[in-house]
Amino acid sequence: MVATATPANPLLLGKGLPPFDEIAPEHIVPGITQLLKELETELANLEANVTPTWEGLVEPLTELSERLRWSWGIISHLMGVKNSPQLRDAYEQIQPNLIQFSNRLSQSQPLYRAFKSLQASETWNGLESAQKRIIEAAIRDAELSGVGLEGEKREKFNQNQLELAELGTKFSNNVLDATKAFKLKLTEPEEVEGLPESWLGLASQTARAEGEEDATPENGPWVLTLDFPSFYPFMQHGKRRDLREKVYKANISRASTGEFDNTPLITRILELRREQSELLGFGNYAELSLARKMAPSVAAVEDLLGELRDVSYDAAKQDYENLKNFAETDDLQPWDVAFWAERQREAKFAFNAEELRPYFPLPRVLEGLFGLAERIFAVEISPTDGTAPVWQKDVRYFEVAKAGEPIAYFYLDAYSRPGEKRGGAWMDDCLGRGKVTVEGKTQVRLPVAYLVCNQTPPVDDKPSLMTFEEVTTLFHEFGHGLQHMLTTVDYPGAAGINNVEWDAVELASQFMENWCYDRATLFGMAKHYETGEPLPEEYYQKLLAARNYMSGSGMLRQIHFSLVDLELHHRYQPGGAETPKDVRDRLAKTTTILPPLPEDAFLCSFGHIFAGGYAAGYYSYKWAEVLSADAFAAFEEVGLENEKAVVETGNRFRDTVLALGGSQPPMAVFKAFRGREPKTEALLRHSGLLAS
């Protein structure tokens, strides 16, 4: 699949693979301006001539939406992976125009009436499940986008939408800039005592990039950043407690002071969200958010989180007491936890995370991951580097085939680039599956995914040597990618992850993480990067034993984030007696063991809920983890050593969860795979928290 010749402005191509080698920031404003002008004309024509049928309404509207999604999707992607001042300026300049057009489109009365007529027509019963779900979602989304508002209320709603979009972009940029702004140069050997070779190599490489030409892993200087591959190993292994405190405090106070301060943005975002929900007739933003989700109510979410809090709190408290005893101190501070947890893990399981790195070079991990996909989903994955333009030289491109026929493609952007790439890991949609007409013939457009991670880059002549956590992250994002790529739905509005309720969308990704502990999968990829020797059996047993190490603490942390998010969007009153930080500190009393420090401004970098799609939805990770753990339990029940049964179960998972996308409600999809509704038992068992 090769990008075709582009028009004068590559952002107006509108189809095929993005020509990343031709796109520049100066294309954005003229390109999107022209595109919006053309789409405005198309929309007006459609409104004037719409007929309430699939062919007369949904197909032309999909075509219009897909053109916009193609061009704007490229720009949004580059904002995450290739951020620059020029790109930001162009993005911020054109974003208001895009929001105005999106409001105009989602609030179109003629289209809304046509959807309602189609739903009420005699042809409704003859439509496929996917078509019905797309129409129902269009009606719901129009109503949640203010189609029923008029006059001043509509004007206010649209102004708020515009401001919210601008605030989200600013929030994200502030986090990126604040992360980038912190650099700590270490020059004395005792400042880096305890740090592993991999960290010293990365820190000296960063120092060279900062102008210290003679920096070496052995002699320094070493530059520490708040980028995760630099920050977290330092917290785990750095022996200098004063430096750990300094770095920890810098991390938790990111984007909370000075020019990058997100505090006023948080206040305003919450205010506007509450206003928007009230304009639409909801009591609060959490209710509005859940109108699009699998969970039936805020109470149902709080019940699940409450159940998980009850089992994880005491376990987390015990984790902390054990750590204090191990460290032989009553003064265990937040900047000590990762350090002593790693020492305790070493003592308890006789290994540390760094020892495993040589066994997880990225090329081998990819072999193992692709081998698993071939084994349980009957797909073949092969590199096709050079056949697609990329945005950065390290980006890879792969083909996914079934029975020798290509069915999808994906980009892999694996390495951390703190200067231009936002933190975390994600999957995004480059091209979605759908029927398209080419030269008068209908054919299926194959899906293409972006898989983005922020793992340790290659250092000097070594490949990227991954921590086990980075391995599970890659498997996680690949799970999202599989749902996007293995869909069999031909309608873009319900293919892959489209139209999958947000709190079910983590099912496939979290499901894939479980395979990192599967013997056949692990030994298929864990091979020493120099000798090719497989991971020693003792390490595998230690990994299994350590799987639930401090799992109560890990679960409680996620519940803390989920409940803070829910409270801010449900009960919190903007302008009331409590600030957002007060809310967080109050909830911390029952959802953390160590209370947040006074300077802890975690909310100021909580991009998931203030600049991502997780507002009043962070609980989705735990909601979906119940589904994913129960799904993996289906494989455990038939026996992970029983190859025939594992393959049969894998094919069933592929043909339901991965194939059906948003064509059916997530509960129906889960039941099609599992034969029943989900239970929490598997999640608690996998976490080592099931009461015996």
Q: Which residues are catalytic?
A: 477
Q: 274: closest CA among 264, 266, 283, 265? A: 283
- What is 285-313 written as a DSSP string? HHHHHHTTSSS--HHHHHHHHHHHHHHHH
Specify whether the CB–CB gap between 260 and 178 falls below 8 A: yes
Pairing relationship of beta strands 441-445 and 405-415 according to DSSP bridges: unpaired
User: What length is written for the chain?
Assistant: 692
What does the block give as tokens for 200?
């010293």
Specify whether the CB–CB gap between 473 and 453 falls below 8 A: yes
Specify whether the CB–CB gap between 380 and 401 falls below 8 A: yes
CA distances from 226 to 218, 419, 506, 692 (A): 22, 11, 27, 41
d(CA 447, CA 484): 7
What does the block give as tokens for 223?
């530059």
d(CA 347, CA 329): 17
* Start-to-end Cα distance in the chain: 54
d(CA 243, CA 248): 8
Q: How far is CA 163 from the centre of its chain?
A: 24
d(CA 259, CA 685): 46
Give all strands of the β-sheet with 426-431 in edge-to-edge order: 380-383, 396-402, 405-415, 448-455, 426-431
Radius of gyration from C-alpha coordinates of the chain: 25
d(CA 553, CA 488): 39
The alpha helices in 382-505, defined as continuous H runs, are 468-485
Q: 614: closest CA among 526, 472, 477, 505? A: 505
Could you tell me which residues are beta bridge partners of residue 428?
450
d(CA 522, CA 368): 7
What does the block give as tokens for 293?
């989700």
- What is 199-260 written as a DSSP string? HHHHHHHHHHHTT-TT-BTTTB-EEEESSHHHHHHHHHH---HHHHHHHHHHHHTTTSSGGG
**In the 8-state DSSP scheme, what is residue 361?**
B
d(CA 658, CA 374): 14
